Amino acid sequence: MAENYKRRIAVFGSTGSVGKQTLEVIKTFPDLFEVEILTAHNNDKLLIEQALIFKPNAIVIGDESKYKGVKDALDTYAIMLDAIVGFTGLRHTIKAVESGKTIALANKETLVVAGDLVMQLAVEKRAPIIPVDSEHSAIFQCLIGETRNKIEKIILTASGGPFLGKKPNFLVNVKREHALQHPNWNMGAKSTVDSATLMNKGLQMMESKWLFNLMPDQIEVIVHRQSIVHSMVQFEDGSVKAQMGLPDMKIPIQYALTFPSRLKAPNPRLNFKKIPVLEFEEPDYKTFRNLTLARAAMEKGGNMPAVLNAANEIAVWAFLNNRIGFLDITGMIEKSMEKINYIEKPNLSDYFESDAEARNFAASLINL
């Protein structure tokens, strides 16, 4: 990298899957990065361990009941802050954008819920947003050097999750432990279930719309079981650029942290001799209707993506806690989208209100 100083990194959600892998990347390059802030919601034990290793200037625990324990454990050197726990990290992202800082964005729901407001603010504050999700990182990398060339469409690749090829008569009996067995990626429980229902790809469609200034009909999803091609961009001349690599989140995380440089990393390399054929197929929209609902929400716009996202979070929580079946996730989301009032041009308050209304309604369906 051209800079001769360390980049200070704030890791929001440091105890989650992406957060832990981000810290692994930082640990690999101690001369380039230092941790400024670590935040977690309630995993105080791991947060304390991370703080002792990386020695950030601030540590945030969202669960107020665990504040004193974290403070006492780290009181010798750290400044402790209380955190206001908001849905999907939206408030944290907006504050970071307002400061004009470069943001490595791993929280897709921020743009799903309020992408129009966040991206407009990013332009006003000149705050670069670099995507961390492997699919969006792939598109971002494919667009380097293509500023003047129009995108015809992007092609988001999906692994298909653990239930690729399965039909409803199989999925009706799916349990929590089955849905958490992802074939390619190491993710947190919520993202893994989203991958199993294909909602993860639906959320990524909506994030892509705002990240890359696209219309819904410019976003295509294709199943690629091997997760070698992370996504593609097709241009107006018919050319297609793809970004490929082994399924390892540390690669897009490192790229986001070191952009525009590429640094040598110890990750395993892709060997095409061992993968002679790359396979692609159409998603099963009839079985995995979450993808259809997500596209409908994206096309309708307004507050509907926020409603879909909120209902999905409640439904996934209920499934993970054995309150509903796997196929009930889709039903809860669909009923919420039908029930919550549509707002064509919401402001930030409208987004938060729609989120709360959708969560309350979805929760009422299972008597929470």
pLDDT in tens, 178-202: 888 877 766 778 889 999 999 999 9
Closest CA to 114 of 363, 360, 349: 349
What is the spatial distance between Cα 131 and Cα 35, in angstroms, rounded to a whole number? 19
| pTM score, whole prediction | 0.83
Rg (C-alpha) for the chain, rounded Å, is 20
- Paired tokens of 331: 């039903």
DSSP 57: S
> In the sheet that 33-40 helps form, which strands lie side by side, from edge to edge?
7-12, 33-40, 58-61, 79-82
**Measured at the alpha carbon of residue 139, what is the angle toward residues 295 and 37, in degrees to the nearest 5?**
95
Taking phi over 0 as left and psi of -120 to 50 as alpha, with beta for the rest, 282 belongs to beta
Digitized pLDDT (tens) for each residue of the chain, 368 residues in all? 545 568 888 888 899 888 899 999 999 999 899 998 898 888 999 999 998 899 888 888 888 788 788 877 776 654 333 333 335 578 878 888 888 878 888 888 889 999 999 999 999 999 899 998 999 999 999 999 999 999 999 999 999 999 999 999 999 999 988 888 877 766 778 889 999 999 999 999 999 999 999 999 999 999 999 999 999 999 999 999 999 999 999 999 999 889 999 999 988 999 999 998 999 999 999 999 999 999 999 999 999 999 999 999 999 999 999 999 999 999 999 999 999 999 999 999 999 999 999 999 999 999 86
Encode burial over 129-148: b for 16+ CB neighbours within 10 A, e otherwise: bbbbbbbbbbbbbbbeeeee
Domains and CATH numbers, the chain: 133-299 (no CATH), 301-368 (1.10.1740.10)
Q: What is the pLDDT of residues 287-308, one digit of tens each?
A: 999 999 999 999 999 999 999 9
